[in-house]
């Protein structure tokens, strides 16, 4: 994940197109994950039927990305882990995000030297 995935403004709801840009993942993956992960099965939809993601949904998706892409979990393994130990994954995700911010800062600092 990159720094743009950490920079969410304080909107109540985000559309799928916004998440695609924010998290740099395809919309088809988000739609598929809705069926696979319990935490995403009850997404709100607007009158047009468009998916509306909350900040909690975004944090859950970031956790899924972390578990699947970074830690190498299967989808079932990630789903089970998220159900069992939500606090631990949140702390791991926060540490990962902090390290990415530091990495970005150091890379920018290096470029400016």
Q: What is the pLDDT of residues 36-60, one digit of tens each?
A: 998 888 888 888 988 899 988 998 9
Q: What is the pLDDT of residues 3-48, one digit of tens each?
A: 444 444 578 899 999 999 999 999 999 999 999 998 888 888 888 9
What's the rounded Cα separation, in Å, for the pair 77 and 79? 5
Structural domains of the chain sorted by starting position, each given as residue range(s) with its CATH number in brackets = 3-111 (1.10.1660.10)
Q: What is the pLDDT of residues 55-105, one digit of tens each?
A: 889 989 999 999 999 999 999 999 888 887 666 666 777 788 888 889 999
The bridge status of strand 44-45 relative to strand 14-15 is unpaired
Helix axes 75-84, 86-111, angle to 10 degrees: 110
What's the rounded Cα separation, in Å, for the pair 43 and 52? 7
pLDDT score of 2: 45
């Amino acid at each position: 994940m990159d720094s743009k995935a950490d920079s969410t403004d304080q909107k109540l709801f985000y559309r799928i197109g916004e998440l695609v840009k924010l998290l740099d993942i395809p919309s088809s993956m988000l739609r598929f994950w809705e069926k696979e992960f319990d935490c995403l099965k009850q997404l709100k939809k607007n009158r047009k039927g468009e998916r509306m993601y909350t900040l909690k949904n975004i944090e859950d998706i970031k956790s899924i990305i972390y578990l699947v892409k970074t830690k190498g979990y299967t989808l079932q393994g990630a789903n089970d882990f998220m159900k069992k130990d939500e606090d631990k994954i949140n702390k791991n995700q926060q540490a990962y995000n902090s390290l990415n911010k530091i990495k970005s800062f150091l890379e920018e600092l290096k470029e400016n030297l």
